[in-house]
Structure 1
């Protein structure tokens, strides 16, 4: 629908991600063991391990941190995007919870409502973004992304109507896959 992103074959306005989204790095209070809690007043501590394989959403956490640990971390809220910044870097997720993020995450926040969430997820998951992140990643043994590198990613900005059409198409496609899978299980 959007043509070849590498060549921008549809001629969309290309802008660096840093002009479109707020991008910030997570933080971890140290030593972390001093801040982990099971207390009622604990807050969600969102780590890479909370991202489930094959999911686009982060819906819960395995651990919580003490409120005083939040001073050394980064607050995130539902609707924010998280992007892993090391090891398996460049994987995006959409938050459905609030909490604080580990330093293995970058938060990308669309404060200007420029993007449809499903379009942005597809864009950040695309081979275009993955190959761009791969070429930008720093490090010789363990490659890492940082907010400046991610902010340099040039992204196409289709109209909101085009983004919504794409999101609607994805939703219909997901429904079709579900119906096929249910039918297949019923027939077997």
Structure 2
């Protein structure tokens, strides 16, 4: 199926499967920004704990000679990221001497500047820069991948709220204020199963 306005064949594949995932989400859960299906909702900030990142000083070359993946916003967007998404690897000493934090595996990593609202689930522990906030200890009423796709629905809104003189972004408080529906966990799992099957089909096509 051709996608109008697509570039390369691989971009067309991505666009087609992404459209399937978005359509399925709306079919099952409606427009979550208006809560068109009347779900019980919670603010994102009520569903977990949040940590911001930081960047080790480039004056210390030894900080960038470690083994801990260090993530910036261009890496965000895929459902899952691992060591291959890291542009740099930092040391434990770097963590001890800057504002970054080691984020445990199975957290939701969210961009607040540049790729605003883009998010990924980390498969392994990693650190992030100051343009990212990480959500941990997530409420058991939510499947993590479902929560990631809820945030995907808010990307246009969050992007419209960017402020700043040079590099524009959003505040963590604004991010925490978005409303997340609470459909039954079985329905969340059903959607997640669909997403994972689509991802497999996308990989086969590529």
The two structures have a TM-score, normalised by structure 2, of 0.74
Q: Which residue of 1 aligns with 2:72?
A: 48
Gaps of 5+ in 2: 1-27
Report how many residues are paired: 174
Given the alignment of the two structures, is residue 90 of structure 1 paired with residue 117 of structure 2, yes or no?
Answer: yes
Q: Output the aligned Cα RMSD.
A: 2.3
The two structures have a TM-score, normalised by structure 1, of 0.80
Q: Structure 1 49/14 Cα, relative in aligned 2: closer, same or farther at 3 Å?
A: closer
Q: Which residue of 1 aligns with 2:41?
A: 14
Given the alignment of the two structures, is residue 79 of structure 1 paired with residue 102 of structure 2, yes or no?
Answer: no
Is 1:76–1:98's contact at 8 Å kept on the other side of the alignment? yes
Q: Which residue of 2 aligns with 1:120?
A: 147
> More strand per residue: 1 or 2?
1
Given the alignment of the two structures, is residue 32 of structure 1 paired with residue 51 of structure 2, yes or no?
Answer: no
C-alpha separation in 1, matches of 2:138 and 2:144 = 12
Q: Structure 1 159/28 Cα, relative in aligned 2: closer, same or farther at 3 Å?
A: same
SS of aligned partner of 2:29: coil
SS of aligned partner of 1:94: strand
SS of aligned partner of 1:75: coil
Is 2:73–2:111's contact at 8 Å kept on the other side of the alignment? no
Q: Which residue of 2 aligns with 1:64?
A: 89
Gaps of 5+ in 1: 183-188
C-alpha separation in 2, matches of 1:115 and 1:56 = 16
C-alpha separation in 2, matches of 1:37 and 1:134 = 31
Given the alignment of the two structures, is residue 145 of structure 1 paired with residue 170 of structure 2, yes or no?
Answer: yes
SS of aligned partner of 1:134: helix
> More helix per residue: 1 or 2?
2
